[in-house]
A and B are shown apart, each in its own frame.
Chain A
Amino acid sequence: MNAVEVKGLVKSYGRFQAVRGISFDVREGEVYGLIGPNGAGKTTTLRVLSTLLEITSGSVMVHGIDLRERPDEVRKVISYLPEDAGAYKHLRGREYLRFIAEFFAEGEKADELVARGMEIANLGERIDDKVDTYSKGMARRLLVARALMIRPKLAILDELTSGLDVLNAREIRRTVKAYAAQGTTMLLSSHNMLEVEMLCDRIALINDGLIVAEGTPADLKQRYDAQNIEDVFVKVVSG
C-alpha cells in the first residue's frame, strides 16, 4: 500500500485554480519532494493533504484512508508542519512539546514523546526559555521536533528549511533522514532545488499548478541531460 495516492487533484480558490489536476504516489518509508517556484501550488497541495482545505475535485488516499470521506481518520496518521509556522509565544519550548504530546498520549507515554522531542530539537538549556526568545533556526527545530516526535506514519513538511542558515538546515535535514529510516514517510516541499537532491528519494517538479516531471533525482538529471535539478527544472519549463 502506498502512503499517499493523489489522483487528478484540483484545488480552486474562488474561480482561480491553484492546483490544476495533479496525480502522484508516495511509497511507504520514502522521502518525497514537491519542487517548484513560489506560487506553483506546493503549499496548496500540502494543505489539501493535511485536511485543511476542501478538495475541489480528484481524490486523495492517505494510508488507504479516503481523505474526503474520513478526514478525522487521516488526522490520526499525519503530522503537518506549515511553512513559516510559529509556536505559542507565551509557552516555553518544553511546555509547547508537552502541550502537543498530550493530545497523542498520556502519562509516561507523553513523557517519552516530550523526551524524544527535546532530543530532536537539540536546544540544550534553551528548551526551558520562552519560545518568543528563540532565533528562527531554533524555532524551526522545535517545530520539526513537534512534528516528528509523535512518529507519525506520514509527515507533511512545507518549506522544510526555507530561510534557515546552512548549519540549521543541515541539522534538520539529518533529522528528517533519520526518522525516515525509522519508518516515517516524508512528504515535503521546497523551492530549493539543491536541497531536495540531497534529501529526497523521489521528486515531482511542479509548476503553475501542474506536475511537469517526476522521478528520482538521478533519473531526472539523466533524462534531461542536466548537471543538477535546477537545470532540469529550467529545461522542463522553458522547453
Chain B
Amino acid sequence: MSNLSKIIKKEVKELLTPATLIPVIIIAVIFGSLGGVFGGVEESMSEPQKIAVVIEDNGELGQVAFAVLNSSAEIVYNGDDVKEALGTLEDAGGSSLFVIPSNFTSNIMDNRTGTIEAVWVMYGAGLMDSLPSEVAASLLTSVDQAISAYMITMGMTENASLVLQPTQLVETTIFKDKVMDGISPGAIAGVMSSQSFVMPLIVMMVIIYAGSIVISSMGSEKENKTLETLLTMPISRTSIVFGKLVGAALVGLLMAIIYMFGMGYYFDSLVGSASIDLGEYGLTLGVGDYVLVGISLFASLVFALALCMILGIFTKNYKAAQTMTLPVTFLAMIPMFVTMFTDFDTLPTVAKVLVFAIPFSHPMIAMRSLMFDNYALVLSGIAYTSVVAIIAMLVAVTLFKKDILLTGKVARSEEKGRSPLGSMIRRFVLKRK
C-alpha cells in the first residue's frame, strides 16, 4: 500500500464514525420526507380541482363558462348563495369559488368585458399555500378561450381585443377569516415571505451559533482541564452553568438583532415595490406582539443552550464538540422548513404535534400567528417552551454534579485494559506478600 493510500485510509477511518454518519442519515431522511410532502402537493394539483360556482347569469355565455369549469374541475357546489357556496367549499377543502354575475352575457354582447369574480380561500401563508388557487386560475384561461371561440362562431369579431380577452377577473382572497379584496393568494404569500423566511432563518442561525458556543466552550474547557479548576473553586455549579448559558444567550441575541436588521433591510428592498399593504387588513404587529416574539425567541434560545450544555457534558474534547451541535441543528431545521413552505394550521395533526413539540418552532411561527391574532398558539407555545427550558436547565445542573461531567461515558476500552483475570492474579500476588 502506498503512503498516500495509508494516509487516506487513516483519515477516512477517523472521519467515518457514527457521530458523523448518523446526522447525515437523519438529514437525508428529513429531506426525503419533505420530498414526500411536496410530491403530495403536486399530486393533489394534478387531481381535478374542487371548486364552487355561483352562476347568476342566465345568458348563453354563463352556460359556456359553466361547461368549461365543469369539464375540468370537480364542482362541489352549484347554486346561487355565495355564503353557502363558501361553506361547502371549505368543508370539501377546495380553494376557489367562481361567481359569474348576472350581467356577464349582456356585457360581452354589448361589447364590454365580462367580469368573473373569484373568491380564493387560502388556508396557510406558506409558499405552497398559494399553489391551488394558481392552478384554479388557469381554468379561467380555458373559459376565455371557449368564450372567444363562441364569439367567433357567432361572428362577433368587430372588437378584436375583446375577442382576445373577453373576461376580466375580480379577485378576493379569504385568509384566516380576513377578507381581502383585489388581492391574490400569490401576492399575499409573496408579501408574507419576510415572515416566512426571515424569522425561521434567524432563529435557526442564532440557535446553531449560540449552541455551538456552549458546546465548544465545554469541549475546550474539558480539553484544557480549566473546567476541573473551576469545579474545585468555591463557585456554585449553578453559577457555572448559568454563567455559560447567559453568556452564550447574550451573544446569540446580539447576533439575532444584527441578522434581523440585515435581513429585514434585504427583504424590504425586495418587497418594498409590492403593491399590498398588509396593514390595511389589520395584519400588523403591535409593540406587545414583538415583545411576545422576543419572549418566545428567548425561551427557545434558553432551551437550545441548556440542551447544548447537556450534550456538552458528554463531550470529551473540542473536536468531539463540533459534531455534537448537529442534533440541535436538525431539530431546528425541521420547523424551519415547515414554516417556510407550509403553515402550521394546514399541517396534518401528527405533524402539528411534532412541530409543536420542538421548542424551536414557536419563535418561528410566532410572527405569522400574531398577525392573525392567534394568541392561543403563541402563548401556549411560550408556556410549553419555558417548561421544557426549565427542565433542561435542571437536568444540566444535576448532571454538573455527577461524575459523568468529567468521565464522559464509562469507557469500556479502559475496562478492557485490565482483564478481570489479570487483576485477580495481581491481587492474589499482593495478598500473599
Contact = CB atoms under 8 A, between A and B. Distances in A.
Interface in A72-109: 72, 75-76, 78-89, 100, 103-104
Pick the most buried of B223, B226, B411: most chain A CB atoms within 10 A of its CB.
B226
Given A53-B403, A82-B225, A85-B224, A208 B430 contact: yes
A210 B430 contact: yes
Contact of B226 (A76, A87, A239): A87
B228 A239 contact: no
Nearest to B410: A14
Interface residues of B, number: 30
Contact of A47 (B223, B233, B406): B406
Contact of B415 (A16, A53, A100, A212): A16
Main secondary structure, interface of A, reads loop
Given A72-B236, A86-B224, 17 more contacts: A13-B410, A13-B415, A50-B228, A50-B232, A52-B406, A53-B406, A54-B403, A75-B232, A79-B232, A85-B226, A86-B223, A87-B226, A100-B229, A103-B235, A104-B234, A208-B430, A212-B430
A15 interface: yes
Contacts of A23: none
A122 interface: no
28 contacts: A13-B403, A13-B410, A13-B411, A14-B410, A16-B415, A51-B231, A52-B231, A52-B406, A54-B403, A72-B234, A75-B235, A80-B229, A80-B232, A82-B228, A83-B225, A85-B224, A85-B228, A86-B224, A87-B226, A88-B226, A89-B220, A89-B224, A100-B233, A103-B235, A208-B426, A208-B430, A212-B430, A239-B429
B379 to A, nearest CB: 39
Contact of B228 (A39, A72, A76, A80): A80
Contacts of A82: 225, 228-229
A43 to B, nearest CB: 10
Contacts of B430: 207-208, 210, 212
A180 B406 CA distance: 29
A76 B415 contact: no
A51 B432 CA distance: 34
A230 to B, nearest CB: 19
Nearest to A236: B433
Contacts of A104: 234
What is the interface residue range for chain A against chain B?
35 or more
A54 B402 contact: yes
A239 B426 CA distance: 12
B414 interface: yes
B418 interface: yes
A78 B410 contact: no
B234 A103 contact: yes
Given A53-B406, A208-B423, A239-B429, A103 B233 contact: yes
B44 interface: no
A14 B225 contact: no
B398 interface: no
A86 B234 contact: no
B374 interface: no
A87 B221 CA distance: 9
A42 to B, nearest CB: 15
B233 to A, nearest CB: 6
Given A75-B233, A210-B430, A212-B430, A86 B406 contact: no
Contacts of A50: 228, 232
Interface string B395-430: 000000011001100110011011000010011011
